[in-house]
Amino acid sequence: MPEYKVLPAGDTGLLVEFGDQVDRRLSNWVLALAARLDELQLDGIVETVPTFRSLMIYYEPLVLSAASLTRHIGALMEGLRGCDEGGRSWQLPVCYDSRVAPDLGDVAARIGLSPAQLIDRHSAVTYHVYMLGFLPGQAYLGDLPSELVLPRRETPRPKIPAGSLAIATGLTSIFPLETPCGWHLIGRSPVPFWQQRPAPCALLAPGDKVVFRPVSLREYEGLAAQAAEGSLKVMPSERWLGAAA
């Protein structure tokens, strides 16, 4: 059984903490507990929200007390197995052309690689979706190869385009909406990661696995045109079976 703490988070939330760092093993515990709670379907649980190292559980206190929920969590922890299984597997197109990747050359120079080598390193990894946050549908993906790990930019940009692929610290992410950003921009994807209609929906979910497939600028523009007209369809390729990242 993993070490954990249950902490109050206001009048309608409990936070289950598994550690204090971004770590694939901790994420697997978080996702395993979320899956067990989903299977249990306790009356009174409103929502579970996985983060890097903890699970936020929102509940209805008139239906389920904090003490009762804490006891259920303790019982679920007995025999809980953290595993890297169950998420979906995605291959998503990304254009690394310098015309949509303004920091690619600078990042490559800083880490002693050519732009082509940087692209090869970044697109060779199978990334793990740790959590969604900051923007609707934005997935925080790890883990970057050690040679690609950089701090954030000293001066954030006031605005970047939707679909921008960026790296910072040990993570990579595609920003689904136009936003300010202090990460390093090394590409862009035409894939919509958030849709508002017919119902709000994020493409990715915690526990999913993602591989980025490099495409040319011409192919990117064609796919972006399809996305703009609503005809671009992106589907997971398979259930993830725990292959090495």
**What's at 243, amino acid-wise?**
A
Split into its structural domains, the chain has a count of 2
Claim to verify: residue 64 and residue 150 sit in the same structural domain: no
Structural domain that includes position 52: 5-77
CATH classification at residue 40: 3.30.1360.40
Flag whether 244 is in a domain. Answer: no
Burial of 66: CB neighbours in 10 Å, binned 0-12, 13-18, 19+: middle
Measured distance CA(210)–CA(149) in Å, rounded: 18
Tell me the pLDDT tens digit for each residue of 51-106: 999 999 999 999 999 999 999 999 999 988 876 666 899 999 999 999 999 999 99
Phi, psi of 98 (to 5 degrees): -60, -20
Tell me the pLDDT tens digit for each residue of 134-161: 999 999 999 999 999 999 999 999 999 9
All residues at 6 or more sequence positions from 231 whose CB lies less than 8 Å from its CB, including other chains = none
Flag whether 185 is in a domain. Answer: yes
Tell me the pLDDT tens digit for each residue of 13-53: 999 999 999 999 999 999 999 999 999 999 999 999 999 99
pTM more than 0.85:
yes
Three-state DSSP at 2 gives: coil
What separation in angstroms does the CA of 238 have from each of 88, 90, 201, 210, 245?
A: 6, 8, 20, 11, 15
Claim to verify: residue 72 and residue 109 sit in the same structural domain: no
Rg of the Cα trace of the chain? 19
Three-state DSSP at 121 gives: helix
Claim to verify: residue 186 and residue 68 sit in the same structural domain: no
Claim to verify: residue 126 and residue 51 sit in the same structural domain: no
Flag whether 83 is in a domain. Answer: no
Flag whether 209 is in a domain. Answer: yes
- Structural domain ending residue among the three candidates 31, 50, 77: 77
Measured distance CA(36)–CA(137) in Å, rounded: 23
Three-state DSSP at 166 gives: strand
Cα angle for residues 36, 40, 41 (degrees, 5° grid): 120
124, 146, 131, 149: which is closest to 244 by C-alpha?
124
**What's at 54, amino acid-wise?**
S
CATH classification at residue 121: 2.40.100.10
